[in-house]
Structure 1
């Protein structure tokens, strides 16, 4: 299990990508998806077409990290893209649930658990 910092922003690339890409290729995709660069400390999650592989790109102030996960059986429950959207913002807790195999469709945080993100926006 990997713990994610509570204040980190997480972006999911909702369309599948080539999992042969590593640091430079994923960094270029991340910059296309979100106007911010990796230096802001955000995490970017990518999956393949079969949804059985996942890579997370993260800058930890000393360098870029690529975390990879391959499922032996099953698939990740990946959100569908909304029209015109290529990425989706998630709370770090939601990313952890996704990595643990939880289907986020229809899931909601209880009102007592919701909290403001840095910048004043709430996310799921």
Structure 2
């Protein structure tokens, strides 16, 4: 089970990333491509061109951590960004969990839920 506080955003990078990149290379992608601050504590998710490898970069309070996953069969299907999201797609923790389990998020039907309007 993936348990994250509601303040943590999860951003899926739209474009493929070089999976040879480590901490510094992924931080640079977060700054330059996603135009975000890597020290925020948010999760930044990158996949390779074939879609069978995934890296998640996050700031753990006293250093960076990378979570890496390679599939032996199949691919990760990222949702396509809308007009407002040009470089990344923001998803919820449940969506990330489904994505890691192989669910295509475009085929998921969501029921209407209450959302509080921003003040």
TM-score by length of 1: 0.81
Gaps of 5+ in 2: none
CA distance in 2, matches of 1:36, 1:78: 19
Count of matched residue pairs: 116
Partner of 2:69: 69
Give the aligned partner of residue 54 of structure 2: 54
Q: Unaligned stretches of 5+ in structure 1? A: none
The 5-angstrom pairing of residues 1-124 of structure 1 reads: 3-7=2-6, 8-82=8-82, 85-112=86-113, 115=115, 120=118
Aligned CA RMSD, in angstroms, stands at 2.2
Cα distance, 1:111 vs. partner?
Answer: 2.3
Q: Structure 2: how far apart are the matches of 1:48 and 1:94?
A: 19
Question: How far apart, in 2, do the equivalents of 1:80 and 1:115 lie?
Answer: 23
Query: Would you say the 8 A contact 1:42–1:58 is kept in 2?
Result: yes
Corresponding residue SS for 1:105: helix
Superposition TM-score, scaled by structure 2 size: 0.84
Runs of 4+ in structure 1 deviating by more than 4 angstroms, as ranges, are 81-84
Conservation of the 8 A alpha-carbon contact between 1:15 and 1:81: no
CA shift digits 1:32-78 (9 cap, x unpaired):
23433122111100000100000000111121000000000011112
